[in-house]
Structures are given as C-alpha cells and as structure tokens.
Amino acid sequence: MMDTALVLTGFFVGAAGAAFVSASGRRLAMYDEPSERSSHTMPTPRGGGIGIVLAFLIVGVSVTGAFFETIIGFGMGLLGFIEDSFSLSASLRLAFELLLSAVVVLPYMELSVYGAALFVFWTIFMAATANFYNFMDGINGIAGLTGATAFTLLSVFSFLTGADHAISILSLSIAAACIGFLPFNVPRARTFMGDAGSMFLGFLFALFAFRLTNGLNDLICMGMFLSLFYADAIVTLYLRFRMGERIASAHRSHLYQYLANELGYPHWAVSLIYCILQILIGAASLAAYYGGILWQGFVAVAFSFAFIAAYRSIKGLRPKADWPPRTIAEKCES
C-alpha cells in the first residue's frame, strides 16, 4: 500500500510541476523562443520537468536506503533548472555534471588501477547519458514517453533480479511522474520538460544503472532500456563530427528531428514510435538477460546494425516538397 502511495505521489507531483510552469513560465522568464533550428514555432514555457525532480525528492526521502542518491539526483535537477533560467556555458555545465557524477561513483570504487578505470568509465557514462537525454528532448512527448518506458523497465529489472527494492519503487515513481507530465506536453506543448527534466532523467537513469550493475550482463541489459536515445545521439554526433560541425552548437540533425521536421510526421507519432520500439527492445533485452552474456551481446549487436540501417534509409528519404519551411517569423505571422 505504501509503495502504491509513493507511485501515485510521483504522478501527481509530476503533473503539478508541469501545470505550474505552464501557467507561470512567462513570469519566471523561462520561455523557449523558437529559432531556425527549433522544432516548434511558438514561444513555450520550459522547465516543466521540475515536477519530476520534486517527485523524486519527495519519494526518495521516503524510501529507506536511497537518501544519498536522492540528494545527488536532486542536485542534477537543480542544475538543469538553473540552466533553464539563466543559460550556463556548455563547459561550466559539463564540469558540474562530471562533478556530480564523480561524487556518486567515488564512494563505491576500490583503490586500484581497475577501480580507477571503473571510476572514469562510470563518471563519463553518467555525464554523457545526462547530455544524450537532453539532446533527444527536441519534440513533444519524446522525453516523457521514453522516460516512462525506460524507468518502468528499470523497475522491472530491479524487481526481477531482487537487486534493490528502493530503486525499483523510485524508478516506478519517476515513470509515473513522466506520465503526469505528458498531458502538458502532448499533443500540443503547454510546457517543455527543459534541462531540469531531461538532464535529470538521463543522469538518474545512469545512476540507477550504476547501482544495479554487478557485471557486464547487467549493464548491457539496462543500457538497452534507453538504446534508441543512445543510438540516435551517438550516430548523430559522429556524423556531425565527420562533417566538421561544432558538436556543442545547436542543431536538429537527429533522426527523430528529421522525421518530425523534414518528413513532416506529427511529433506525437514520432514520439510514440520511439516509445513502442523502446518497449519492444527493452522486453527483448530482459528476455536475453537470462540467456547470458552471449544472448545479450546478440541483441545489442543486432539492434546496432538495425538502427544504422534504418538511420541511413530514413535520412535518404527526400524532404517534403515545401521543405525548407518558411521562416519562424513568417509562420508566426500567418
């Protein structure tokens, strides 16, 4: 009964935070103005994901054994909220992300060469996942739907393996908070999740994966729960690097953005496709988990080849006849 109450708390606090920012975003000077690189055309309040962060804080302090993760996770959410409000430099934000990640990892590391290597890996993994999730929050619904899916899968994994009941309940509460946020973001965005939500969700996913990992089999399984975000972000970054583009500059080159912008599919449809595929991939990964590392590796490799093939095929489709679109100003005037 207590667990159910905590999950419901996550849902209502997630919804309340989105509702507050939706109504007060202009007064808080937290508006996302459209640009030529945006996938939206109207000024929209950002930072609606703060409700998800607060849900985690409230539920986290109520769950035995999760206080340390709660404080650090809240710190990442606060960093995202500051970014939504004042816009930090990319280097300063990355420095804080790496610092928070290092604070999480350090107490669990052994004083050895192997321990040092693991420390570097997990610190980079957490900061990178926070940024990848942030990169993928570019159309209505995709961050909320994927968050609900990925954290539900994490909860199922934790429950089935008996690894950590606190993380299982926290994950389910975060999934519920994402669902509470969604009505304010889909199909018409009354608020965006913002860095407060997207950076936080990515960081928290990696933090939970870190705590639940006892071997490579665990890491591969959980990594597949967010595989579409990882794949889209990594492939896009690699291609932009090859073309000599500045990695830190704003863009809309991701596969999901091409589907929504150049090919003209509705945001909700693209987000739902990503969500359904992520559920199927996550279920396949859970099934392969009990087959051992070879089956896990097979699922991961098969997904990688399939994604690259799909990426190339979709990016090869010609944009709609009216692409490129009119300027943002022209759209707003019409």
Q: Is the dihedral of CA 324, 326, 329, 334 positive or negative?
A: negative
For residues 323 and 297, the model is more confident at 297
pLDDT for residue 42: 65
pLDDT for residue 332: 31
Give the amino acid at 268: W
Tell me whether residue 168 is exposed, middle or buried, using C-beta atoms within 10 angstroms of its C-beta: 0 to 12, 13 to 18, 19 or more.
Answer: buried
User: Which of 199, 202, 182, 179 has its CA nearest to residue 191?
Assistant: 182
Distance CA 262, CA 174 (A): 32
pLDDT for residue 21: 85
Distance CA 301, CA 202 (A): 22
Distance CA 133, CA 143 (A): 8
pLDDT average, residue stretch 211-231: 94
Cα–Cα distance list, 61 to 11, 65, 76, 247 (Å): 16, 9, 16, 37
Q: Domain containing 13: what range? A: 2-333
Structure confidence at residue 322 as a pLDDT band (50, 70, 90): low
Tell me whether residue 41 is exposed, middle or buried, using C-beta atoms within 10 angstroms of its C-beta: 0 to 12, 13 to 18, 19 or more.
Answer: middle
Question: Which of 35-39, 95-99, 102-106, 248-252 has the weakest average pLDDT?
Answer: 35-39
CA angle 215, 135, 53 (to 5 degrees): 75
- Res 331 pLDDT > 70: no
Share of the chain above pLDDT 90, in %: 51
pLDDT for residue 327: 38
The average confidence (pLDDT) of the chain is: 86
- Tokens at residue 308, please? 């690259």
Q: Is the dihedral of CA 211, 215, 218, 224 positive or negative?
A: positive
pLDDT average, residue stretch 76-101: 86
pLDDT average, residue stretch 300-323: 87
Q: 196 with 137: CB under 8 angstroms? A: no
User: Which of 187, 207, 240, 200 has its CA nearest to residue 47?
Assistant: 200
- Res 141 pLDDT > 70: yes
pLDDT for residue 109: 81
For residues 39 and 310, the model is more confident at 310
Question: Rounded to two decimals, what is the model's pTM?
Answer: 0.89
Query: For 37-76, what is each residue's pLDDT tens digit?
Result: 555 556 677 788 899 999 999 998 888 666 777 888 888 9
3-state secondary structure of 10: helix
User: Which of 308, 102, 77, 317 has its CA nearest to residue 210?
Assistant: 102
Cβ neighbours for 121, distance < 8 A, ≥ 6 positions apart? none
Distance CA 14, CA 181 (A): 5
pLDDT for residue 314: 93
pLDDT average, residue stretch 13-19: 92
Cα–Cα distance list, 229 to 80, 134, 161, 275, 281 (Å): 19, 10, 24, 10, 12
CA angle 38, 43, 45 (to 5 degrees): 105
Helix/strand number for the chain, H first, E second: 14, 2
Structure confidence at residue 163 as a pLDDT band (50, 70, 90): confident
For residues 324 and 43, the model is more confident at 43
pLDDT average, residue stretch 283-300: 92
For residues 321 and 318, the model is more confident at 318
pLDDT for residue 150: 97
Structure confidence at residue 324 as a pLDDT band (50, 70, 90): low
pLDDT average, residue stretch 181-186: 90
For the chain, how many structural domains are there in total?
Answer: 1
pLDDT average, residue stretch 71-96: 85
Residue environment code for 132-145, b if the CB has 16+ CB neighbours within 10 A, otherwise e: bbbbbbbbbbbbbb
